[in-house]
Structure 1
Amino acid sequence: MADEIFENPRLAYIYDPFDPDRSDLDAYESMINEFGASSVLDIGCGTGTFACRLAAKGIEVIGLEPAEASLMVAKTKRWSDRVKWIHGNALDLPELKVDLVTMTANVAQVYLTDEELKATLLVIREVLLPGGRFVFETRKPESQAWLEWNKENTYQRVDVPKCGVVEGWVDVIDVRDSLVSFQWTYIFENDGAIITSISTLRFRSFKEISQTLREVGLSVEEVREAPDRPGREYVFITSRQ
């Protein structure tokens, strides 16, 4: 079950207005050009921003997302008719092969157990064409990004088209070992509705990630910095062993 922020129709609708700067996707788009990929599977595609960007360039794109409300938003976007949308997770994929698999933003960190992550990575390994790559990012635990996840640093008041003014912010509610839980709060001024959503991410170390990749038969070709968060994230470029 996807988190409320992605699954609740009201929250899915305001997701993009609250996060309009998607310059983090530029590096992924550049890598698709760099590696000459003509087909891409975007796991955890959310509201489809990246998938539609690629479709506009003539890339064959599959957008996989467990939250139906987010997919409904994705399907309203320009170029969405050129994307193959799949509602579900990696274990729900039909038989397919692609040049590149991506997990942008925090997607790789939503797998809280090693078993969940390994099951997904094994599927990714199987869908890669010879010479294909899997690219994903994950936050460095030592940077402790969650220390900035509070109302003071994250509060926004956004006038959303066809919705009205919405206030929103995030607060960390629990930090336990490598798991960080946080709650989003949104207040819809037009009717006074208050909707919250709790999420948990796992912050794995470089060593943990590298070992897990080896165990499922994925080789690390390179690890880069995320241009939008220099020094705070790993961007793994991997391929099938």
Structure 2
Amino acid sequence: MRNAEFTDPRLVAVYDVECPWGRDDDFFLSMVGEPPGVRVLDFGCGTGRLALGLAAAGHVVTGVDPARACLDAARAKPGAERVTWIEGGAEVLPGRAYDVAVMTSHVAQFLVTDGEWAGALSALRRALVDGGRLAFDSRDPADRRWERWNPVDSRRRLRLPDGGEVEVWTEVTAVEGGLVHFTRHYRFPDRELRGDAVLRFRTEQELRGSLAAAGFRVERIHGGWHGEPVGAGADGELLVIAVAA
């Protein structure tokens, strides 16, 4: 199943264990900054980790995601009542409603086609006030991260909240142009599940061009979570902060 980690409730629980609060969340939280009360859109909010952190910091947060299973998990967490949760994609975004929009956990890379990406950027531009900021992460293709996604290096055993265990690993199945196809394997005691996915790896130049076409001005792009220049650190990221022009 395509992107099963976001649509299968059993795999959503695994995702939550695999992806606790980390330095990426610290980066985006500090980017939104202070004082409280900023109207923030978390586009592709998943199970709500960052959205809940932003709301706890006093911001007015809307979490939007097309995966109902992820939103169900988000709504069940402590503090969920502080966030407005909306099921859907770019088509549900209101106009000029937010001061900041974020796309985290490499959501940008799940927008595979040029049309999907351009449509999302246009909708995000419309959703932001003039001068509002958009921040997102996308892996730098020059880092060739997918070469480390293999059944040996990626294999790990996780303990779930219900006390059960699952063994997970990743297998890249094809690399063509900027597209990386891979399968995620989940071995539970009673069965093995799998989910297929495709990510788009865009270069810095591609990101800059698409942002300009959608009405954004790039403010800065970092290569790592501590503000390193692109290509200078070990993180292999393109951390983009742009302004709605």
Q: CA 1:121/1:160 → structure 2, altered by over 3 Å: closer, same or farther?
A: same
1:95 is displaced (CA, Å) by 4.3
Following the alignment from structure 2 to structure 1, what is the Cα–Cα distance between the partners of residues 238 and 46? 21
User: Shift of residue 93 of structure 1?
Assistant: 2.4
- Aligned counterparts, 1:1-241, within 5 A: 3-33=3-33, 38-95=38-95, 97-162=97-162, 164-189=164-189, 192-227=190-225, 230-241=234-245
Contact 1:2/1:66 (<8 A) preserved: no
Q: Cα 1:157–1:231, aligned 2, differ >3 Å: closer, same or farther?
A: closer
CA distance in 2 between partners of 1:116 and 1:163 (Å): 39
Post-superposition offset of 1:175:
0.5
The range that moved more, 121-130 or 159-168, is 159-168
CA contact (8 A) 1:12 1:69 kept: yes
**Structure 2 portions without partners, runs of 5+:** 227-232
**Secondary structure of the structure 1 residue equivalent to 2:52:** helix
**Paired residue total:** 239
Q: Offset at 1:232?
A: 0.7
TM-score by length of 1: 0.93
* d(CA) in 1 for partners of 2:66, 2:153: 29
Q: Do the aligned partners of residues 218 and 52 (structure 1) sit closer, same or farther apart at CA in structure 2, a change above 3 Å counting?
A: same
CA RMSD of aligned residues (A): 1.9
Identity %: 36
SS at match of 2:126: helix
Pairwise CA distance, 1:2: 6.6
CA distance in 2, matches of 1:226, 1:232: 7
Kept after mapping to 2: 8 A contact 1:18/1:156: no
How high is the TM-score relative to the length of structure 2?
A: 0.92
**Could you list the per-position Cα deviations for residues 171-208 of structure 1 after superposition, in whole angstroms to 9, with x for gaps in the alignment?**
1111011100111110111xx21110011000111111
Report how far residue 224 of structure 1 moved.
1.7
Are the structure 2 counterparts of residues 72 and 19 from structure 1 closer, same or farther at C-alpha, using a change threshold of 3 Å? same
CA contact (8 A) 2:94 2:127 kept: no
2:215 counterpart letter in structure 1: G
Amino acid at match of 1:235: L
